[in-house]
Chains A and B, each alone.
Chain A
C-alpha cells in the first residue's frame, strides 16, 4: 500500500527531523520569540517543546492503532471514506503553502544576504531541482543526506557559538520573569508552530524498520532541537541583549560580529552554509510528504511521477503565498503560526481522539455481543 519501497532506521528518522524543525527556526525564532517574551525568550522553546511532545505522542498513537499506514491512509479507516478524503484534501491544500513558504524564505534570505544580484527565481529554482532529485531517489536517500548534513550543521553551529564566547555577556539573562511567566508562554507560540512540524513522523513512520525504539529516538530528537533553540536564543540574548528583536536575522548578526585576532572575521557565510544544508533537508522532507500524500490520496502505486510537477507547484506557490520579505515576516509572526498549528497539531489531535473513541466503541460493541 505504501508508495515508496524504501525503509529508514529510527535513528535516521530522528536525525531527519532535526533540520526539518531547526533549519528555518534558527534564523527567525530568536527575534520572533523576543517580540513577545522579552528577556525570557530563552524559556519559550521549553514551553513550545510540549507541543512537540504531544504531536509525537499523537503520531505514535495513531500508528499503533493503525500500523504501517500513513496518517492519510489511516484517516480513511478512522473517520470513514468521505471525511477521510476531506481530511487528506486539507493537507493537499496546506502542504504546498508550507513548502512554498519555506522555499520563499530560503530565497529571500539568500538574496538579501548572500547573492543580492541573483534573481530570486534562480536561487529558489536550483534548490527545488536538487530537492526534487533527492526526493525522487526515495526516503532512504533523503535519510542519508540528512545524516551527512546534520553532522556538518552541528559542527558549524558549534563553531559559531564557540567563536562568540568572548563577546557574550551572561548578565543579560537577568532579570528573569520581568513581567511574570505569561510573556514567555506567549512567546512560545512561534517555536510551538515549529515543533508541531514533528507531525511529519505521522507520514513517515510506516517507512521505519525498527518500530520498537522509535519513541525513544523521537524524544532524543526533540531534546536536541529544544536544546539547540535554547542555546541559539541564549547566544542572541547574551550578544544583542534587548536589541535582538530589532533584527530580522539575529543569528546572522551574531555570526557577523565575530572578530578574532583581526583576521578571523566576516564568517557569516558559515551561517548561510548552515541554512542551506538545513533548508535542503527541510524542503526535501516536506516535498516528500507532499508527494506521498498526493499519491496516496489519488490511490497511485508510486509517488515518483508526481514529484517533479508538485515541486514546480511548490515553486509557484512560493510566489503566490507572499509578495515580499516583510510579508514573509508578517505571515510568520501573526497568522501563519495559527494556520500551521491548526493543521499540524489540531487536526491530527482530533483524528487521534476519533481513533480512540472508535477503538473504545468497537471494544464496547464486542463486549456487548459476548
Chain B
C-alpha cells in the first residue's frame, strides 16, 4: 500500500501540470463548441405540409403548402387580415420545371426561408399528371432524403394546387384534413411506400383515393372549404387510366379489403321501402388455385353489419326477415364484387386486387413459368365470389318505428 502511494506521489507533480492544462483546454473548448455557425432555427425554415403535383404543357407544376407559424401562434386573434379565415395558417407556392426536381429547385427561389420537406405528410397528384406516368415522382419521393415514405398519396381530377390552397374551417390546413380523412379510411389508405410497392410489384397497378374540392358555403371565400373523398382513381402500370365512383368504387374497395365505412340500403323483395345496413367489419380473403393448368381464384368476403334504418313494414327481430335481409345484402355485395371484377378483368385488364401476388406466393413455380402470359391468364381467369353476411344488431329498435297506429296492434 505505502509503496504504491509513494510512487504515485512522486509522479504526481509532472502529471498534474499536464492534466491541469488538458482540463483547462477541455473546459474552454466548450465556449467554442457551443457554436451556432451553421444553425438553422425554426424561423429559418419553411415547413411544407403537403405537396401537389400538376402538369402544365408537358412541364411539372409543383405546389407546396407551407405552414405559417406566426398565425398559428396567435391563437384566437384573427385580428390580422380580414380575408384569411381564423384557421388559415398555410400558404402555397407553385413552381414549374421540366421535371419534379427542377420544379423543387425553382420553388426555393420563391420562398424566403429554407424549404423543409420533412413534415410533408400528404402528396396530391392530379389525374392530369398521373396520366403521364408516376415514375419520376415516385423515384424522387423515395430518393430525396427529406421526404417521408409514410406520406399519404391522393389523386384528384381538379388541380392539386387548388386543393392545397384551401383553408379548411375545421382543421389547421387542408393537408391535415386530407390526412385525417385518410385515417378515417374513407377511401384507400396509400403511402408513398405502398404506392411504390404496388406499382413495382407483380400486379403493376394501384388504386388511389380521389379527392374533390367541396363547394364553399355561400358568402364564404372560395378557399374556405374542405377536400372530400369521391371515388377512386385507378392506376395501371404507372399511369392513371380510369376513375370509378359509387357503386363501382365500393366493389373495388371491397375486393381490396379496404372497405370500412359505408351504409348500404338494401331492398327487400315484396316489401316497400328498404333496410339500411351499416358495415361493422369486412374481411376479404383471396385463395388462388391451379388445377389442370386452369388458374382460378376464390374470393371470400365476410361482412358483418348493423341495421340503422328500416322503412319496410316488417320487424328485424323476425328471424325470417333477418335471413331475408342477410340474403339480400349478400346478393347486393356479390353483385358489387362481380362488377368490380368485370371492370378489372375484362375492361381494364389490370390486376388491381393483387391476384398475381397471391399466385406468386402460393404457386411460385407455376407463377414463374407463366409470368409472361399473366395478362392473358388474368383476363380469362375463373373467379368465384362467396359472400357471407351477418346482421349482428338491429339497433335500438326491433319493430319499425313511426308507423301510424302501430303501437295499438299488440
Q: Which residues of A contact B (CB under 8 A)?
A: 112-113, 116-117, 171, 174-175, 177-179, 240-243, 246-247, 253, 256-257, 259, 265-266
Contact = CB atoms under 8 A, between A and B. Distances in A.
A259 B150 contact: yes
Given A174-B362, A257-B150, A265-B150, A242 B145 contact: no
A243 B364 contact: no
6 contacts: A178-B364, A179-B368, A242-B201, A243-B193, A253-B149, A257-B149
Nearest to A175: B364
A247 B149 CA distance: 12
Contact of A175 (B148, B191, B360): B360
The 7 closest A-B pairs by CB, nearest first: A175-B364, A174-B361, A178-B364, A259-B150, A257-B150, A175-B361, A117-B38
A84 to B, nearest CB: 38
Contacts of B148: 256, 266
A252 B323 CA distance: 52
B138 to A, nearest CB: 11
A116 B38 CA distance: 11
Given A241-B197, A243-B196, A256 B149 contact: yes
A233 to B, nearest CB: 17
B365 to A, nearest CB: 8
B197 A242 contact: yes
Given A175-B364, A175-B367, A179-B368, 11 more contacts: A116-B145, A175-B360, A175-B362, A178-B360, A178-B364, A241-B201, A242-B201, A243-B193, A253-B149, A257-B191, A259-B150
B200 interface: yes
Contacts of A242: 197, 200-201
A243 B197 contact: yes
Interface string B178-208: 0000000000000101001100110000000
B395 to A, nearest CB: 31
Main secondary structure of the interface of B (DSSP, over half): helix
A113 B201 CA distance: 27
B200 A243 contact: yes
A175 B288 CA distance: 14
Contacts of B193: 240, 243, 253, 257
A126 to B, nearest CB: 10
Contacts of A259: 150
B400 interface: no
Contacts of B361: 171, 174-175
Interface of B: 38, 118, 142, 145, 148-150, 191, 193, 196-197, 200-201, 360-362, 364, 367-368
A80 to B, nearest CB: 42
A171 B196 CA distance: 18
Contacts of B118: 266
A253 B364 CA distance: 28
A240 B360 CA distance: 17
Contacts of A247: 142
Contacts of A253: 149, 193
A112 B145 contact: yes
B204 to A, nearest CB: 12
A210 to B, nearest CB: 27
Contacts of B142: 246-247
B370 to A, nearest CB: 14
A300 to B, nearest CB: 22
Which of B142, B149, B367, B368 neighbours the largest number of chain A CB atoms within 10 Å of its CB?
B149
A188 to B, nearest CB: 20
B29 to A, nearest CB: 12
Contacts of A113: 145
Nearest to B193: A257
Nearest to B357: A171
A242 B364 CA distance: 15
Contacts of A177: 364
B14 to A, nearest CB: 17
Nearest to B202: A242
Contacts of B38: 117
A246 B196 CA distance: 11
Nearest to B147: A256
Contacts of A257: 149-150, 191, 193
B181 to A, nearest CB: 14
A257 to B, nearest CB: 5
A36 to B, nearest CB: 17
Contacts of B145: 112-113, 116
Nearest to A259: B150
Contacts of A175: 360-362, 364, 367
Nearest to B40: A117
Contacts of A266: 118, 148
Contacts of A178: 360, 364, 368
Contacts of A117: 38
A87 to B, nearest CB: 39
A247 B367 CA distance: 26
A176 to B, nearest CB: 8
Contacts of B150: 256-257, 259, 265
